[in-house]
Amino acid sequence: MEVEYDFYSKTRQAVLGYISVATGALSVVRCAIMFMGLWKNEGQLYPPPLLRLLLGLTLTNWMYAFSSTFLGPWAMPAEVSTYVVGATGNWQTCAAAGFFQTFFVGSAWYSFSLGVYHVLTLQFRLSGEDFHQYIEPFCHMMVVLSTVLLGAVALYYEYYVPLYTLPGMFKELLLNLSF
């Protein structure tokens, strides 16, 4: 099945691709500053379970931002340059970019875990130790499993591509995932 990519002009494709590069660079800097601040925490500002979740969120965000910045649209294979402005890479650079893109899902799970932490500790008065013992392992497991499973699906269907540079690619992925 052929996917139409012509509903975005070359200018719009370039703007979408390079805005993600610019904002990715800002995210890389922000994640580095956050990571250093959290690393120096030493249990003073945040309780340990919250600190570990924040460190995980910062790390997964950094890996996703790294992909957007350093492996951006130019990591796409040169063969797709007709509908991805700036595509000068090969299939290996595309696979590397796709690998780092899966960490976006991990950062979403860490954001969810932070919400669960705050609801349980503030609303239901669950202690930090109980959260660490019963719920925190599940939070970290969901991040690892979701990124590994998404990566395995991407490998199986050969979808290594960063989805933000190819309008309509998510639609094509859904059409090919017929169980």
Structure tokens at 65: 């931002």
- Give one DSSP letter per residue of 108-169, joined into a string: HHHHHHHHHHHIIIIIS---HHHIIIIIHHHHHHHHHHHHHHHHHHHHHTT--S-GGGSTTH
What pTM did the predictor assign?
Answer: 0.75
Amino acid at 17: G
In tens, the pLDDT along 25-54 reads: 899 999 999 999 888 876 588 888 999 999
Q: Which residues have CB under 8 Å from 8's CB, separation 6+?
A: 16, 167
In tens, the pLDDT along 100-128 reads: 888 888 999 999 999 999 999 998 999 98
d(CA 88, CA 78): 4
In tens, the pLDDT along 69-88 reads: 888 777 877 877 766 677 88
